Amino acid sequence: MTKSALAIATALLISGNVQADQSLQTSMEEGKGVIKAFFGDLKGELEKGMKQSGPVDTIASCNIVAPSLAAGHSQMSGWEVGRTSLKLRNQKNAPDAWEEAVLKEFETRKSAGEDPMKLIKAEIVEEGGREVFRMMKAIPTAEVCTKCHGETIAEPVAAKLDELYPSDKARGYKVGDLRGAFTLKKPM
């Protein structure tokens, strides 16, 4: 290759990378907005439920409301929106290979001192010959979460969880632990 051809090839490679970086950044900002809206609705429903009817009835509504909110936000935004975890309550939220790797990476990064509120990962990956933008944001455990995901769960709450989720693994969390993550996906 001549020197100038090499220079052009290098320039193209660099501008290609810059473009990819820019579309990654743009998608990431968009994704953050989608997560914020989904999280806001979930939190609103949770707070309303806990205040008005207590944890036992809120479980029943989580069981229906959380998946339907995820579906609603997916439809609204054109993204696939969901929640996942390494220790699941609902098997339907099971992580795929990419998600499982990111959940483990979040645990490592948290152990290394990163702020769990800010753990985020975005990547353009190839799936079935197509480029797909994928993104996850960690969900740390707050005080209110321990009522249904904590180390000691009140009897009527535990009984309701046993009834709805016989293979529930999503218990034993302490405040600050990573409960799971939001997960988003969109074709590029």
Burial tier of 70 (Cβ tally within 10 Å: 0-12, 13-18, 19+)? buried
Contact between 121 and ligand HEC by CB under 6 A: the answer reads: no
Q: How far is the CB of 164 from ligand HEC (least distance, A)?
A: 7
> 85 and 107 in contact (C-beta within 8 Å)?
no
Select from 5-13, 17-25, 119-127, 136-144 the region that touches ligand HEC (CB under 6 A).
136-144
Nearer to ligand HEC, 28 or 116 (CB): 116
Contact between 109 and ligand HEC by CB under 6 A: the answer reads: no
Q: How far is the CB of 45 from ligand HEC (least distance, A)?
A: 10
Provide the Cα torsion 177, 82, 144, 158; round to 10°.
-90
Please say whether the dihedral angle defined by the alpha carbons of residues 108, 111, 112 and 114, taken in this order, is positive or negative. positive
Contact between 178 and ligand HEC by CB under 6 A: the answer reads: no
Question: Cβ atoms within 10 A of the Cβ of 85, count?
Answer: 23
By CB under 6 A, name the one of 30, 32, 37, 63 that touches ligand HEC.
63
Alpha-carbon distances of 172 from 36, 49, 144, 152, rounded to whole Å:
26, 22, 14, 7
Contact between 58 and ligand HEC by CB under 6 A: the answer reads: yes
Tokens 């439809």 — which residue? 75
Q: How far is the CB of 19 from ligand HEC (least distance, A)?
A: 34
By CB under 6 A, name the one of 31, 81, 86, 89 that touches ligand HEC.
89
Contact between 59 and ligand HEC by CB under 6 A: the answer reads: yes
The beta strands (E) that lie in the chain are given as 80-84, 120-127, 130-140, 178-187
Contact between 145 and ligand HEC by CB under 6 A: the answer reads: yes
Rounded distance between C-alpha atoms, residue 71 and residue 7, angstroms: 48
Q: How far is the CB of 185 from ligand HEC (least distance, A)?
A: 16
By CB under 6 A, name the one of 27, 74, 90, 183 that touches ligand HEC.
90
Provide the token pair at 158.
């535990």
Positions touching ligand HEC (CB under 6 A) are 46, 55, 58-59, 62-63, 66-67, 83-85, 88-90, 93, 139, 141-142, 144-145, 147-149, 170, 179-180
